[in-house]
Structure 1
Amino acid sequence: MDQEETIIIKARCNVDEGQVARKIVIDKNIKLEELEYKLRERFDVSYDKRVELYYLDEQDHIAVTFEDELALAMESSKVPIFELVVKQKAIDGFYTYPKVSKGKPGDVFEVLVESQWLTITNATRDDTKAWGTFIYTDDSDVVKALAHTEKVELTDIPPEYNVIATVRFLPGCLKYYGSSCQGITTMSFGPYISSFIIEEVRVIAAPSYNEKSYS
């Protein structure tokens, strides 16, 4: 079996104690979301904070937001240097599925859905329900809503990633219309007092336990 090609990168991040720098061994063909996960883990940056990733090229800070930009940074003749910039997120709560609280209209929550829940078997369980199409009652199951809006693709076995869903709460609707999509059937209902929509979904790497690092 072919061994993956690894390289050493330098990474730095401003944390509570000041700027911290590390050397890390990574797969040369690492994906952007996997690199973000690894750097968050090494610098202990939680997912209730937004991050921006930059590649340091001499005096320039070059934003890395696409896979081709990361690939160019990895081809550097020098040891690639990255900086993780932490930004405060304008969110009102962070939860881990299935424990998700209800919000009031205007609130924005982020919901971590771990790999074990991103399966067809879980999403089609009879003990979870969803009402509506694109706009759901606030007591609807988040995974059902994710699949129904085609924000995630469900599999038979847990995938090698987790997702973070950005959920925005809205006022209630007079009527919610059920429909079927991706094997998920939602129900009609109404009126109801509060709603939510799935604004965004980010894919993040699931934890790995065979990483190496050099400080």
Structure 2
Amino acid sequence: MNKSLEDRQPGASLTAPTSSPSKDQQEFLYPNHMRAADLLRLLGGERSWSESEIQIDLNVLELNRLRTVRDLRSLSEKSWEKIQLLPLVKDLLTDAIRSCEQSAGSQEIQIKVRYTERTITTPIVRKMTIARNITLEHFKLKLATNYNFSVDKELEYSYCDEDGDRVILSYDEELTQTLADKTYLVLDVKATGVDYTFCYPEIPRKYDTQVCKVLIPSQYLTLENSSNGPVWGTDIYTTDSAFLKALVHSGLIEVNNTPPSYDVLVTVQYLPGRVGYSGSKRHGISSRSWGKYESSMTFKAIEKIPYVEKA
């Protein structure tokens, strides 16, 4: 039999739910994006309340624009007092939220890691428990142990937030803040290191989505050498563009009539093709526009490497 409305009036004692959620269920039952109305229905259902019995409370939530669990968690004690919910309903909602906050306040968190490399088409998924204050360096060591890869591997960390956006984690503070706000996290870890290294004039061709390094000896870094061949695009170039000329056009290096006293190590990323490439004039070089092409490249960084001439 459903509880009568009188049983839900102010002063009524809390009634235990028909079944208590386990600790794991508590951690994942009430995420921030959950609808506040659904939480109230869940709590009411555990006490055999009907939809009609909680309709007034549902209207109060809507009237106060309390549409998600995040909205409930943002309320101050004074705000809770002003909301015209029955005391029993207030207690149930606040107790449910606090139980999750206590779980979130623990020193450790369970996460699910989806690890991928360019040579791995299907993510390797593992669950692990980590400290909420872990640094990226120590997290990387833990991953290296679990996935059996070198600690020198370059990694990209990201997760999908409540709005469906992909969030990149690059600093310790970003990681710890994210772990502090979550009761559970699915983290994507992707190996992003260099795949191949070349020595100019040998250059990579059409290595889709891969990152390569190209060492350009000083003898090639001149105006004469960088003026040869056509270039298509701006910042993102077709892979059949003249490599050195496109690099100068990008603005990452400058060249003169004489070779410099250093070599250049270029990091270049290969990308899928585009439907169009825009030409422009930069640094004394004019690039051309082009339509659809099968593969692209963009220059990410350069490193100048001084050399000592042989005696």
Task: Give the TM-score normalised by structure 1.
Answer: 0.53
Counterpart residue type for residue 222 of structure 2: T
Structure 2: 5+ residue stretches without partners:
1-151, 154-191
Q: In the aligned structure 2, how far is the partner of 1:134 from the partner of 1:159?
A: 24
Query: What is the SS of the residue equivalent to 1:154?
Result: coil
Which structure would you say has the larger RCO, counting Cα contacts within 8 Å and 6 or more residues apart? 1
Deviations 1:124-170 (A, max 9, x none): 12xx2211000000111221111101100111111111101000001
In structure 1, which of residues 142, 150, 171 is the aligned counterpart of residue 243 of structure 2?
142
Displacement, 1:93? 0.9
Q: In the aligned structure 2, how far is the partner of 1:190 from the partner of 1:105?
A: 19
In structure 2, which of residues 267, 278, 291 is the aligned counterpart of residue 177 of structure 1?
278
The residue number in structure 2 matching 1:152 is 253
Conserved 8 A contact 2:206-2:296: no
Q: In the aligned structure 2, how far is the partner of 1:116 from the partner of 1:184?
A: 20
Displacement, 1:209? 2.4
Q: In the aligned structure 1, how far is the partner of 2:277 from the partner of 2:218?
A: 29
The residue number in structure 1 matching 2:296 is 195
Q: Superposed, which structure 2 residues align to 1:38-187 within 5 Å?
A: 90-125=193-228, 128-187=229-288
Structure number with larger C-alpha Rg: 2
Conserved 8 A contact 2:266-2:299: yes
Structure 1: 5+ residue stretches without partners:
1-48, 51-88, 211-215
Aligned structure 1 segments of 4 or more residues deviating by more than 6 angstroms: none
Count of residue pairs brought into register by the alignment = 122
**Aligned alpha-carbon RMSD (Å):** 1.9
More strand by share: 1
Displacement, 1:206? 2.5
More helix by share: 2
Task: Give the TM-score normalised by structure 2.
Answer: 0.37
Conserved 8 A contact 1:123-1:184: no
Query: What is the SS of the residue equivalent to 1:120?
Result: coil
Aligned-residue identity in percent: 36
Deviations 1:42-67 (A, max 9, x none): xxxxxxx99xxxxxxxxxxxxxxxxx
